[in-house]
Structure 1
Amino acid sequence: MTTRRSDGSYDIWLNGQYALRDFIYELTLEEALDEISYRAQATIVVTPDFPGMRPGQDVRVVGVPYGSSEQIDLLHPAIVWQCENSYERADRLTVTMYDRTIYLAKSEDEFVFPAGMTASERIRRYATGWNIRVGDLPDTKVKLAKSIYRAETIYNMIMKDLKETARKGGPMYRPRMTLNGLELVEIGTNPVIWSLEPSENVMSIMQKRTLEGAVTKVKVLGTKDAGDESAAQVLVIEEGEYAELGTLQKIVQDSSYQSISEAKEAAKAMLSGIQETISVTSLDINTIRAGDKVDLAGSGMDLIAMTVRHELGDPGKMVLELGSPELVRRRFYMNESV
């Protein structure tokens, strides 16, 4: 007889017809700020009455939130993305599921946007072009520079728009797919802020400090015409803790800045010293998402969940990588790449 983790707290619904609770051996949920889609992975014990699963099927993961007694959707709307069969004393199926933002990360298109549009206006344009329903979409307010996107994924385009918004002093936003449609969630504005107590629900804490990723000098260059062999004009140079930490220089060449003062503010925001992150392993609070603010008792810091891994069970376990809002802005929103 195979031991199964399922205890009634969690279930997977397949095509809205089949409850797979009795087949679940292991179930995890994972999310990171540098990835768009919430991901679930389940190990399923295959028996004669198992209905079978294949890529492309609709799926939803439900569970009872910490401190509650009623099930809610933890991953929905979602899709079966990958299935792997294996045999080791029992037939098992490993299933990878994503929320439906995965299609934005895997689909390419091209768009040309004039200057003056906001990120939220552009998202409505993407949604119209791809027949995507839009849910809660706050006004991001910051006017963006002209953009020409050629053969890029929709996710890349959205993140470039959101990064430009943040670089120009706007809030940090994260796209999420909900039952209401594609939405934008501002980082750190979750209405419920969970407290992690080292003396109660925390199993271990690891604090890391490093110069990897530190920036003590920023040089902002102007753009130059193609074929021009001369060096680009230096618009702004901002210096930070180079005397104490050494010179770690970042070069920025961004045509979206509309003035020297705007470039100067962006350069200041890129300066950073010693990088500090905190990894916490604790009893699971299954509703914490990447981008949520978390209270770590005794830290004296505002902390944002940068990566989240929920190992669902009773009791479950979660592993969080936490960083300050300033670190999140520098690491995920001030860089050029997606």
Structure 2
Amino acid sequence: MSYEVVLQDKYYLRELIESISLTDSLDQISYNANIQLKVPEEGISFAPGQVIRISGTPFPAGSNKVYLLNPGVIWECNSSNNSTKHLQLNVYDRTIYLAKSEDEYLFAAGGTASQRLKKYAKDWGIQLANVPDTKQKLSKAIYRTQPLYKMITADLQETVKSGGDMYIPRMTPAGLELFKIGSNTTVWKLQAIEEVSQSRTLEGAVTQVKVLGSRETAGNEAPSPVLAVVSSDLIPKLGTLQRMVQDEDVKTEAAAKKLGNAMLTGIQETFSVSGLDINTLRAGDKVELGGLKLIVMSVTHQLGDPGHMSLELGSIELVKRRYFLNYG
């Protein structure tokens, strides 16, 4: 097998590997691996908390292996014994600690998501890699007890609502980075495909948006003030499908119109693709399918020679609405 699993920077487990799957999604922070092993009779013990990494020859076949999941941590071990003892390891990259650890923070207005990420990292001893300037100034935030990942997500969502670019956190061997959605240098054309299915629906379509102001300024007995009403030219064709939105980060008519226009959408279209594995492909990467430029929303790799992958793809606009504007 052209894949290697190394435990505790010491034990090379290639000969024990039965299967490896990797799962990544825009709605989860941590790259997740499920590793099935034959367990040797002696010499190696496995336990949650141990350091582990996965590397492999990148697609298309090359001579040098690259890290696919590193640094990783064993989160769960399950064993079975049916003539041969087998072990199933559930592994995450180390961003899992951001999802499982809670804290409280108070941020004054004016900082950026990049600056806040650097604050989290300093407080928690997290090594950082590439953290670009997200540029958009954020409003005051009071984060009561909640997972750190939820705070990071809120910062990145507000960045997009304010007109900024879309970023997601990724753990790399060099440290935690902010990856700009669709910024991968190699854009794969999906050709070795077994199956493509397309879903088109009006469920989730929005042809008119009414953006409301704060209830505090209206008083308890009055309706919320309307900052803007934005309509789509698709109304004659699809009908009026109105979405009401009230966001404390949106305070002006200009900002309300920008948010409303970003939420307008017609027929919802997604693609499910299965085919030959491109083992370095991650959620958030841009790919090309039949001439369309699409974003990987989720991917599952079944590593092997050859391997197999399953993808869920959507447009950049759909990704923005679903994962950053909280409406899909």
Could you tell me the TM-score, scaled by structure 1's length? 0.92
Q: Which residue of 1 aligns with 2:79?
A: 85
Are residue 69 (structure 1) and residue 63 (structure 2) matched? yes
Aligned with residue 159 of structure 1, among 150, 153, 158: 153
Q: Which residue of 2 aligns with 1:228?
A: 220
Distance 1:52 1:252 in 2: 53
Distance 1:258 1:114 in 2: 17
Shift in Å, 1:89: 4.4
Distance 1:324 1:78 in 2: 30
Q: Which residue of 1 aligns with 2:197?
A: 206
Aligned with residue 27 of structure 2, among 21, 34, 37: 34
Q: Which residue of 2 aligns with 1:319?
A: 310
Shift in Å, 1:251: 2.0
Aligned with residue 294 of structure 2, among 288, 298, 303: 303
Q: Which residue of 2 aligns with 1:15?
A: 8
Distance 2:277 2:154 in 1: 33
> Are the equivalent residues in 2 in contact too, given 1:78–1:97 (CA < 8 A)?
yes
Could you tell me the TM-score, scaled by structure 2's length? 0.95
Deviations 1:41-88 (A, max 9, x none): 011112314612111000000101012121111000110011112234
Distance 2:117 2:303 in 1: 33
Shift in Å, 1:264: 0.6
* Equivalent AA in structure 2 for residue 333 of structure 1: F
Aligned with residue 272 of structure 1, among 239, 257, 265: 265
* Equivalent AA in structure 2 for residue 301 of structure 1: L
Unpaired runs of at least 5, structure 1: 1-6
> Are the equivalent residues in 1 in contact too, given 2:213–2:251 (CA < 8 A)?
no
Distance 2:47 2:203 in 1: 42
Deviations 1:174-223 (A, max 9, x none): 101112221101000101111112xxx11111111112222222121111
Distance 2:253 2:161 in 1: 14
Report the RMSD for the aligned CA atoms in angstroms. 1.7
Q: How many residues align?
A: 325
> Are the equivalent residues in 2 in contact too, given 1:23–1:50 (CA < 8 A)?
no
Distance 1:331 1:213 in 2: 10
Unpaired runs of at least 5, structure 2: none
* Equivalent AA in structure 1 for residue 44 of structure 2: P
Are residue 184 (structure 1) and residue 175 (structure 2) matched? no
> Are the equivalent residues in 2 in contact too, given 1:31–1:37 (CA < 8 A)?
yes
> Are the equivalent residues in 1 in contact too, given 2:227–2:252 (CA < 8 A)?
no
Moved more, 44-53 or 94-103: 44-53
Moved more, 238-247 or 179-188: 238-247
Q: Which residue of 1 aligns with 2:135?
A: 141
Distance 2:263 2:100 in 1: 30
> Are the equivalent residues in 2 in contact too, given 1:177–1:183 (CA < 8 A)?
yes
Shift in Å, 1:291: 0.4
* Equivalent AA in structure 2 for residue 234 of structure 1: V
Deviations 1:93-121 (A, max 9, x none): 11110000111011111111111111101
Deviations 1:229-267 (A, max 9, x none): 432111111122344323333222112124210111111
Q: Secondary structure at the match of 2:214?
A: coil
Q: Secondary structure at the match of 1:302?
A: strand
Distance 2:149 2:59 in 1: 31
Are residue 249 (structure 1) and residue 242 (structure 2) matched? yes
Q: Which residue of 2 aligns with 1:59?
A: 52
Aligned with residue 40 of structure 2, among 43, 47, 51: 47
Distance 2:210 2:251 in 1: 16
Q: Give 4+ residue runs of structure 1 displaced > 6 Å after superposition.
A: none
